[in-house]
Each structure stands twice: as structure tokens, then as C-alpha cells.
A and B are shown apart, each in its own frame.
Chain A
Amino acid sequence: MTIEELERIRTEARQILAERGERFLPDGELKPPRPGEVRVVLRNCGQIDPKRIEEYIAKEGYFALHKILNMTPEQVIDETKRSGLRGRGGAGFPAGQKWFFARQALASRPAPADGAPPAYLICNGDEGDPGAFMDRAVLEGDPHSVLEGMAIAAYAMGATQGYVYVRAEYPVAVEHLQTALPQARRLGLLGKNIFGKGFDFDVDIRIGAGAFVCGEETALIDSIEGRRGEPRPRPPFPAVSGLWGRPTSVNNVETLANVPQIFLKGADWFAGMGTEKSKGTKTFAIAGKVKNAGLIEVPMGITMREIIYDIGGGILNKKEFKAAQTGGPLGGCLPAKYLDTPIDFESLVAAGSLMGSGGLIVLDENDCMVDVARFFMDFTQDESCGKCPPCWLGTKRLLEILTRITRAEGTEKDLETLEYLTQNISTASLCALGQGSVNPVVTTMRHFRDEYEAHVRDKFCSSGVCKGMFHYEILADTCNGCGACRLKCPDKVIKGAKKAVHEIDQANCIVCGDCYKACKFAAIAIRPRPTPKSKLPECG
């Protein structure tokens, strides 16, 4: 491949794109940027055919790779450092710095005698957070941007072999990668002597079996080596001793997809977006009680309020915002007072949460914070690799207590035990899964202590979630007797004449909540039961 040839392919393919109206997906599926969005990593998704390398080339694809091959690896590292690019996989580690460490470790060691690759570059596409699909969108919609990013990173750190680790639950992503790889090899954009510059780099796919913990880089390396994925203590860091004991850099899909753009448009352009310490954009998967859920890409430093209200369209059904859960199962729940906090790595950590990979779940007044904590703990306990007792056993005890509290069996002592558990699990666990597993509990206890206390003292769930811990009452001074609730009630236990205040026959009410949802006048309230029902049978 030469630059002239690449330019020729670009010209031809631009023609095709222009004829197709600069789009690939049909109207319904093509999601144009919403106001406030800035698309860097998602720029080509939906615009180009991900199964045709020419269309990626039409979008300046692989021009960055050509450009950096005229630079030294050190220059590539410096430029990346200058751009301020930080890892999008969760921890926010500076990407350039990571390649620098790997390069340094490589220089201090002899190459393998058997001709095996001296160093590895791994793209982490495990994306195990429930509800996260940012990396999937990039792998499915623009696989070549990830491969080009990998090649640039590999050149910078000194790797000759790369792996994309992608979960088996993403068959389309796998298929698109499987199509992309031979195309890139055929054009000489992967393989030996790329662009005639003496740089060798090839990529293979490794498919994960869907363990959340295999997204943790040391567990991921175990998994590629064919073993059960379990995190290892650091040091040694993967940069020093990673895959097959060689210097290895593990980078997230989104991190890598940013890289070609940084070299096309310059580090200054990238550093011009975002906050002082968090540059560029971030994709978020917004979900929960928000009007326009879905995938967005916004500049770092945007506030939660802008994301939820301006881009997300606000809370569903005119309900009240209660909290935003960011960072996935290891992140935290932030209440309304953080709505104007800029979203960047440091601010979120300072608030007790995480950027994580970019999950953002909006919770409203009908979400019980104890139950939210229990939900995430259930996930984390299930996904704990089982190596260190603070995590595999500690999260089990946390889950048991949270379950008791949401079943009206909690005690004041349980709250103390929760605190004792969270403090120690976070300092004694081996990896970030265990250390972070407590965040949903810690943040909900910090910001919604009153809910925990109401659950254990009054056996009352004010959000109307925990079964047996509340009932519905019709407020006599608000009810206008419209009768909507009466018509909805499946058990016909609401009495009331037209235009007269209605009443629920509590003895026969099954607390299904249909009336609560049906009332348009906020005349039905969630209230403590006179005698809380405890020891409910397990269900759902």
C-alpha cells in the first residue's frame, strides 16, 4: 500500500458515499447527533458500511496510520500525551503514558528467542457493564477505526501482535471484525511492512465467554492465555509482564477509536475539548427514567443536568429526579445536588462515583435506593471471580443484608454491619471489582440514609418498590373522583361515587400499583402500612 493508492481508494469511495447521501443506515436506525452532542468516536457509525474498508478510507481512514509511520514511536507517545487522551475503560489512565511504560519495559528486556512477538497490544471489547453498549456501537459500526487505533498504539509501544477481546454476546461486532481484518490485511494495512515503513503488526480476535471480570485487564490476559479469567495482583503491571509474560498494553475500544482522529486533527484539537484534566468526548449509554434513552457522545465536562434534561429530554412522566447512577456496577448513585457537577474523571470520583465505561441510569422518585444497591450487589456478587474472600464472601454478606432490608427484615445493627463491610471490602479486595463493588451501597447510604433508616426502623419503602413495606392511600383533599383508579383496579377494591373522593379497601388490596399509575392528579400516595408484612415469600 502506498499513500497514492490510499488516496485513490478514498476518491472512489467518496463518490459512493456521496451517491448514497452520506449515510448507510436507513432513517429509523440512523441516529443523527442530538443538539449538544459532539461525535468523535461515533462519527462514522451509521454513515459508512462497516463491512467495506473503502468507506472507512473515504472518511480519512488509515491516513493517520500513514502519518504516524513517518514519526518516531516516541513522537507518537508524546503527541498522545499532549492530547490528554485518557483510558475510557474505567480508570482513566493516560493512554500515552501506558504505551510509554510498555515501551520502556520492552527496551529493558531481550526479545523472545523463539521469534514470538516481543510485546502485545490488546483492545478491550469485553464491555460487561449491564446496559452499556458504547463499545459495541463502535465495533459494529466502525471496526476499522479501532483497528487503525490499535496499529498506531502498537507502533508507539512496540507491539507486533494485537488482539481484540470481544464478548461472545456481540455476534455482529465479531462478524464485522472478522470481515474487517482480512480487508485490512489484503490492502497491506495490517501485516508485514505496513506502508513500506518496516512496521509489522497483525491482529487476531479472541472471544470472551461473558464474564464481567474478564474485562479487568489481568483477568482478560489470563483468558486470552486460555485460563480461567481471574485478576492478578499488581505489580507486575501488564506493561511490564502481561500476555505470555511480555510487555502488554490493554486499551479500551473507545480509547483506541479516538486515536486516529487525534493524529488526523492534531493533539491541540483534541485537547481543546473537555476539561483541564479530562480531554475529548465521552460516550454514554443513558437509560432509566429519562425521555430519550440511548447512546450519546458529549464533550467531557458537560454537566449531568445537560445530559439528562437537554439531551435526554428530562424525566419520564413528569416525575421527580432522584439520582443518577454512573459508572456501572462499580459506580455510585449521585443525588440532585450533583446535577451541575461537570462529568469528568476527577469530579465523579470526588463525588463518590466513577466515570466507568459510561453507563448512566436515571432514577426517579419511584426507585428505591436500597433496592438499587441490592440490584447492583446481586450482579457483582454473581460476577466476583471468587479469588479473594473480601469480595466473594464480603459481597455475599452485603447482598444478604440488603435483601433482608428490602424484605422488611432489616435491623439497625444491619446498617452498622453494612458500613463495616463496605469499608473493609474496599480496602482489602484484590482488584477493582471488589474494591468498587461497595460504591452503590456507600453512595446510597451517604446520600439516602433516610431511606435506609425508614426501611429498617419503620419498615417503610417510600418509593413503593419493596413489597410489603408500603401501601397506597387516596388523599381525600386531592382526589377529584375521576374514577380512573377504580376502573384500573384489577381486584375492584376501590370504592367511590362519581366526583366523590375514592377509597381503597386496604384489606383486599394486592398493592399492584395500577391505581397509582392511573391517577393523573397525584391523589394517590405511597404510605407506610399500619402493620408491615415481613417474611414475604421469595419472588421475582
Chain B
Amino acid sequence: MTILAINGKKIEAAGGTILDVARANGIHIPTLCHHAALAPQGACRLCLVEVKGMRVLQPACTYPISEGMDVQTDSPKVRTARKFVLELLLSDHPKDCMTCETCGHCELQDLIYEYGVKETPFVGDRHLFPPDERDPFILRDMEKCIRCRRCIRACDEIQAVNALTMMNRGFRAKVATAFDTRMQDSNCIFCGQCVSVCPTGALTEKDSHGKGRDWQTTKVATTCPYCGVGCNFDLNVRDGKVVKVTSAWNAPANKGALCVKGRFGWQFLHHPDRLTTPLMKTSFWKEIKGTEGAPSPYKGFVETDWDTALDAAAGRLSAVRSADGPDALAILTSAKCTNEENYLMQKLARKEIGTNNIDHCARL
């Protein structure tokens, strides 16, 4: 056990950084470049603290604790430095929170509020990048980028794609893809991990723009229907409509990460073409019901309900089995199904139908 003092309070801890220990003990230290899912890098300087004996302020997010350490997390010196950094960031930031997609869950906005930075004392150049709307799914508004590099680290550490990097130095330094192309022309796979870690409105979900602020939506936890990994995520719902997908960092299967389909492929939910009832071939319907059936918008199909559709399918399968034996039937399942669903399908094949003709699309 290491014994140290934070703000004069004696604290025992097993190890970790000053930030880890402070947070575990309910001591607030602001952060901006830090993200629990990413390796700390000490870039933004918001978490600066005073460590007794050190000439300059030290970042709590990277500084390991040691025996007898004496830390001040909220001294005037610390507060001045943090306010200074915020004033600098504000001097290179469009002050348009009112129309910003991230307003209300923006970490920069929260800190500017916490430190009461109404005005910046600095006048000078400001980056004037037009919002980059050339890509699908992700809108990059680099004027709002504070260069915390969370996106770069997420792309590297979580997704292992490394589509993003810093380019240039000094004031001209910016986040970019290789050769500064649009994301579509880089090796980006649009997983959106970068969007989910961005603390500001620099990276946002393009299709969610204007559809609802964080506080106007409710989060409905669900599991992704696209594949068998079983990623958990939250449908962000406003007035009965899904407007965005986000994922909690403690989601058991995916730890907050999603793929392009899970994160961005939700528009089909409210698409007019989406099937909401089962359809049955008009000829089949006629064969078993002897009537024309309810017309559907799809040529050659009638609309029906689940009971009717399942009964009809079961009836047909039983008929084939009685006429030609169980091996006349075969079942092919899908990698998109969960393990449990695949298990049930083989049970259906082997136990109910009585055939070993069961296979799976992934076994090519």
C-alpha cells in the first residue's frame, strides 16, 4: 500500500495514477484528453495538479502515485493553469453551442462552464475549416476539434485501423487521414469509435444531426440484430423514433465498440419499405386458404400474421418429411444468428425433423 496526501487528506492506495486514486476517493479532477477506454497521454493539461517538489505542474492522468507524495488538485496555481488552457482553447473555437450537435454532452462546454470562462483574453487567428460533409455517417467539423487525439487513439487502440493521425506542427497541427483525404478514401471502416470518444462536436453522427439533443432522448438498451457477436447498445429515442445509436463503455460483449452496421445502420427502422408483417406467396395462400387473401404492396405476395405464416411453413415441412423422409430436408443456419439460435436450429433438425442435414454459412 502506498500512502500519499491529496489536498492534505491522507489516502492509501495500491497503485495507479493520481487521477485513478483521486477519482476512487471522490476527488474531482477535470480531464479532457483522458478517456477510460484509452491509454492516457497527458496532452490536454486540464488535469494538471501540483506535486510537491516538482518545478512544473504535472498531469494527474499519467503521473503514478508514490509513497509520501503530496498533491494539490484545486490550488489557485492549478486553477489558474486550467483556466488558462480553457481560455486558449476557447480562443480557437467557434462559440456556437446553440446550434452545436454536441451541446449538452460536450466536455469542453462543461469545463468552460465549471471554470466560468466567459471571455478569452486572447485575440488572434482561429481555424476556419468548413464542416466536412463528404463522408457518409460521420460529420467532421474540425473547427471544434481541440486536438485531444482521443479519436486517433480509439482508431488505433480499439479498432486497430489507424485511419487517423496528426498532421503538421504548431498551430497548423490537425487530425487527418493519410494524405488528408476524406475518410471514405482512407482505410477507415466507419465503425464510429472515434465519434463515440470525441469530447466535442468535432466528430458527430451525420444522420442524427438536428434530430434531438442528449437530454431530449431516452436511451433504450438493446442488442444489435445484425450479427452473432451480440453487441449491446442504446437506441437513443425521441418521440418514439430512433435518432442515434450509442453504446455504453461497460457493455459486456463489446465494451462500447460497434461496427458500422450497429452504430449507423438504424435508419431502416423507420423506413416505409420495412417489412412489419410476414408475407406469403399469393399462390401458396390460395392453395391452403382457397381465397385471394389481403393484398400487399408487394406483387405476388399477400400480407399475413405470424401464426398463419409459421403454421403454413411447419405444415409444408411436415408434408415433405412424411412423403420423402427426414433426409429430404436440410437446414442451413447463419453466422448472423447467436450461438443459442444456432443450437436451437440443430436441435430442430436432429431431434424434431430427424436429419443430420444441418449446416452453417460460415463453414465454407
Contacts and interface: CB of A to CB of B under 8 A. Distances in A.
Interface string A397-419: 10010000000000000000100
Contact of B169 (A213, A417, A420): A213
A211 interface: yes
Interface in A363-418: 381-390, 392-397, 400, 417
Interface residue range, chain B? 35 or more
Interface string B37-78: 000011111001000000011110011100000000000010
Contact of B170 (A232, A383, A428, A430): A383
Interface in B63-117: 63-64, 77, 80-81, 84-85, 88-89, 91-92
B169 A386 contact: yes
B169 A233 contact: no
A235 B80 CA distance: 24
A397 B146 CA distance: 16
B307 interface: no
Contact of B171 (A233, A396, A427): A396
20 contacts: A228-B165, A232-B41, A232-B42, A233-B42, A381-B170, A382-B170, A386-B166, A386-B172, A389-B89, A390-B85, A392-B170, A392-B173, A397-B91, A400-B124, A424-B80, A427-B57, A428-B85, A429-B45, A429-B56, A430-B42
A417 to B, nearest CB: 6
Contacts of B324: none
Contacts of B147: 386-387, 389, 392
Contacts of A383: 169-170
Contacts of A233: 41-42, 58-59, 62-63
B169 A382 contact: yes
A463 interface: no
A384 B146 contact: no
Given A393-B89, A393-B92, A386 B170 contact: yes
B181 interface: no
B186 to A, nearest CB: 16
A428 B122 contact: no
B121 interface: yes
Interface string A425-436: 011111000010
B170 A384 contact: yes
Given A389-B44, A400-B123, 11 more contacts: A233-B58, A235-B64, A383-B169, A387-B149, A395-B170, A396-B125, A396-B170, A397-B88, A397-B122, A428-B85, A430-B45
Contacts of B62: 233
Contact of A385 (B42, B123, B169): B169
A382 B59 CA distance: 24
Contacts of B170: 381-384, 386, 392, 395-396
* A-B complex: 8 closest residue pairs judged by Cβ atoms: A386-B173, A233-B42, A400-B124, A424-B84, A396-B171, A393-B88, A233-B62, A428-B81
Nearest to B147: A386
A381 B172 CA distance: 10
A388 B121 contact: no
A367 B62 CA distance: 43
A393 B169 contact: no
A386 B41 CA distance: 13
A382 B62 CA distance: 27
Contact of B84 (A384, A386, A395, A428): A428
Contacts of A232: 41-42
A346 to B, nearest CB: 15
B44 A388 contact: yes
A389 B173 CA distance: 11
Contact of B85 (A228, A387, A389, A397): A389
Nearest to B171: A396
Contacts of A228: 165-166
A404 to B, nearest CB: 9
A381 B85 contact: no
Output the residue of A230, A382, A386, A388 with the most chain B CB within 10 A.
A386
Nearest to B88: A393
A154 B204 CA distance: 50
Contacts of B77: 427
Contacts of B172: 386
Contacts of A213: 169
A432 to B, nearest CB: 10
A230 B43 CA distance: 10
A211 B170 CA distance: 11
B276 interface: no
Interface string B146-173: 1101000000000000000110111111
B59 to A, nearest CB: 6
Interface in B312-355: none
A424 B125 contact: no
Nearest to B50: A427
A388 B56 CA distance: 14
Nearest to B32: A389
Contact of B81 (A385, A427, A430): A427
A393 B89 CA distance: 8
A417 B84 CA distance: 11
- The residue among B41, B122, B146, B169 with the most chain A CB atoms within 10 A of its own CB is B169
A233 B18 CA distance: 14
A197 to B, nearest CB: 38
A420 B149 CA distance: 27
Contact of A381 (B43, B64, B84, B171): B171
Interface centre among B81, B124, B165 (most CB of A within 10 A): B124
Given A389-B147, A390-B45, A384 B124 contact: no
Contacts of A435: 56
Given A233-B63, A395-B170, A396-B125, A427 B56 contact: yes
Q: Which of A382, A384, A428 has the most CB of B within 10 A?
A: A428
Contacts of B41: 232-233, 387
Contacts of B89: 389, 393
A394 B88 contact: yes
Contacts of B42: 232-233, 388, 430
Nearest to B165: A228
